[in-house]
Structure 1
Amino acid sequence: MDRNLQLANDAFKEQKWAQAAQLYEREYQTDPSEKVNHLLVKSLYEAHQYQVAHMVMMDNLNSYLMDDQHVILMVQILLANHQLLMAHVLTATVERLPQAIGQLIQQAETDARQKPDFNREYQAFYQLSALTLAQQQRVFEKGKQLPLNEWLTATKALLTDPFVKPIIRVSLLELVQKLKVAESFEFRWLDDKNYQITGNRLKSLAEFEKVGILESMLQDLMGNKDPMTQQLYQNELGLQMTLLYPFIDRAIPDPMTWVARLVRGDEVQSAALPAMYSVEWWQRKLSRIMSEMTGA
């Protein structure tokens, strides 16, 4: 064992946390292993360097889900960084949670409700539809610091609010899916109609087979186009899929026609409005939404 790692382990055993963190950090630069990651994160947490601990933990997050000890450490770090919702999201993926987790989250949520600015921040999240897109995105992120019950109460209203930007509505719905919430929600989709959905029956975006099919077809159609052009179309397709969640299959019955129009545009230019739910109708609608998002 090299001298630096021995010194780090000695400092860890003696609970000299700041010293251990400094030595493990040096070790982590040369050997970013799972074990050193865990020791560094634990040392940083105990030294109250919560933000740095969170950043290092995110390098190898899945390794913290493998045993009770590290699940508890993961949740402690998330809560120390006020990431209440993300603690719920990650623990939703663990089949058998350590008993301590529920107590940790419950205490953190009680503490959050007692903060002087809690009601103001809760109302800001609840009423984010009155804001610009950039402001909505900031408040959406800040909302992850709310206790789960308050977040869900506000989210149920926001999912049907026509003034919430589509990308924010979808982002909220994706969090509902990750939380595996066994409740029914109404969701306003891009066709401006409300649909009934159940949180724990939703698929993640990565689970849609059609997304992979569309990406492969786009790659084939692009052929030998330059990499930058290919990346632009891939990015556009990815954003389209996100905005169409969770009804991607409903919007795109014919992937080849969809990809062809994405790359080539309308085959025939016409002043007539496209038929509702046609490929042209969807892509024009998505193009308008994306233009608003980028300010183009």
Structure 2
Amino acid sequence: MKIVQLTKNDWVIFMSAEEDYADKHFDQVVNKTEHLLEHYPNQVDVNFLKAKALMKLKRAAEAQQILIEFRDEMSQNSKRVAQMIQMSLENSCFMFARELNSMISSDYEAKILAAENQYRTVNSAKLIEQAKQFAHIGSLGVCNQVKGVEDARKLPLSEYLLAAKTVLSDPFLWQVTKTQVLLELVAVQVSDQVTLNWLDKQNYHIQLTRLKPVNQYASLTTVFQIIEARYTASDPIKLQLLEGELVTQSNYIYPFFDKVISDPQYWVKATIAQSFGDTIAANTESERAMLKWLATIHQAEGQMNMM
């Protein structure tokens, strides 16, 4: 995300908004930051100040969405992360708070645990219903599954993990939903074992500590590097289309990239052929296996579009 620095005049407006925040004129803060964001939509300091003001105005959902959207950029500042964790706990977004905690050297685990326990005490019936809804997310359509996964980030860790185990073992659930749940568990650094009913409909017992974020799997990153080298200069539109296709693929085959992409060069050729209506020969058992995986992904994606 490209960050544009404020001009001198706009910096004066920002400083004025900070003074308004200190003076508790939170509506003025929102007005001034929204004016600045018309010209600098990705400016981190402006977005964070707006989020803080929205929290004071009891517009918690809007504030939290800003924190989620700019999580990676905002978390570059450890002092800011501490405030983001506090805001997220006030909004009962416990898993998101844990994501933030895992990104910094300071440890707010005790504070998060205390907030989770307090939430359990005050909202026990609501929490049971929230966890139940997440565990049975497979009964929903695709769009509602996406929303359900996002809503589940409000759960305390224990309830999230218990429901997630049901989600991951569901043979009828959309694979992309399972991937997003797995990645959430990886992001908060859970140390536990889960059973994943994967793309091939087989069950795999997975130790979560052995999993990595998507961008740390060499077979996948090599594929991205190949298409970037080939198309960045010559055909950026094709590059964008292929990158989108690779992201879709990754959502189906995580975490077994090395199992599926045995030859990154061939995988790129096959993906290009499939994306643009061409055919490609398979001369080895490995290549035939990769074509089968691509067909499986394509079939699963087609079924998803009918849900």
| Band the TM-score falls in, shorter-chain normalisation | 0.7 to 0.9
Question: 2:43, 2:266 → 1: CA distance?
Answer: 46
Matched, 1:172 2:216: no
User: Is residue 112–residue 146 contact of structure 1 (8 Å, CA) maintained in 2?
Assistant: no
Matched, 1:214 2:223: yes
Instruction: Give TM-score scaled by structure 1 length.
Output: 0.81
Aligned CA distance change for structure 1 residues 59 and 141 (closer, same or farther; 3 Å): closer
Question: 2:28, 2:229 → 1: CA distance?
Answer: 54
Instruction: Give RMSD over aligned pairs.
Output: 3.3
* Partner SS state of residue 169, structure 2: coil
Matched, 1:195 2:190: no
Of residues 104, 107, 117, the one that matches 2:115 is 104
Deviation at 1:46, TM superposition (A): 1.9
Question: 2:246, 2:16 → 1: CA distance?
Answer: 51
Deviation at 1:193, TM superposition (A): 1.9
Bigger shift: residues 152-161 or 229-238? 229-238
Question: 1:189, 1:20 → 2: CA distance?
Answer: 48
Question: 1:74, 1:188 → 2: CA distance?
Answer: 35
1:249 counterpart residue number: 258
> One-letter code of the match for 1:120?
E
Q: Highest Rg: 1 or 2?
A: 1
Deviation at 1:262, TM superposition (A): 2.1
Q: 1:58-109: per-residue Cα shift (whole Å, max 9, x none)? A: 56434346334x3332123323444222122222222322454443344345
Deviation at 1:33, TM superposition (A): 5.3
Q: Provide structure 2 residue ranges, at least 5 long, that are not aligned to the other structure.
A: 1-7
Aligned CA distance change for structure 1 residues 30 and 192 (closer, same or farther; 3 Å): closer
2:61 counterpart residue number: 51
Bigger shift: residues 178-187 or 33-42? 33-42
2:4 counterpart residue number: none
Which residues of 2 match residues 274-289 of structure 1 at below 5 A? 278-289=289-300
Question: 1:231, 1:5 → 2: CA distance?
Answer: 35
Q: 1:202-241: per-residue Cα shift (whole Å, max 9, x none)? A: 1100111222221233356669986544433332222112
Deviation at 1:29, TM superposition (A): 5.0
Q: Give the count of matched residue pairs.
A: 289
Aligned CA distance change for structure 1 residues 150 and 18 (closer, same or farther; 3 Å): same
Deviation at 1:34, TM superposition (A): 4.6
User: Is residue 89–residue 112 contact of structure 2 (8 Å, CA) maintained in 1?
Assistant: no
1:290 counterpart residue number: 301
Question: 1:158, 1:55 → 2: CA distance?
Answer: 25
Aligned CA distance change for structure 1 residues 15 and 167 (closer, same or farther; 3 Å): same
Aligned CA distance change for structure 1 residues 172 and 33 (closer, same or farther; 3 Å): closer
Question: 1:220, 1:23 → 2: CA distance?
Answer: 43
* Partner SS state of residue 195, structure 2: strand
> One-letter code of the match for 2:195?
E
> One-letter code of the match for 1:87?
A
Of residues 75, 82, 88, the one that matches 1:78 is 88
Q: 1:183-203: per-residue Cα shift (whole Å, max 9, x none)? A: 111212222222222222211
Matched, 1:95 2:105: yes
Bigger shift: residues 14-23 or 198-207? 14-23
User: Is residue 27–residue 53 contact of structure 2 (8 Å, CA) maintained in 1?
Assistant: yes
Q: Percent identity?
A: 22
* Partner SS state of residue 226, structure 2: helix
Instruction: Give TM-score scaled by structure 2 length.
Output: 0.78
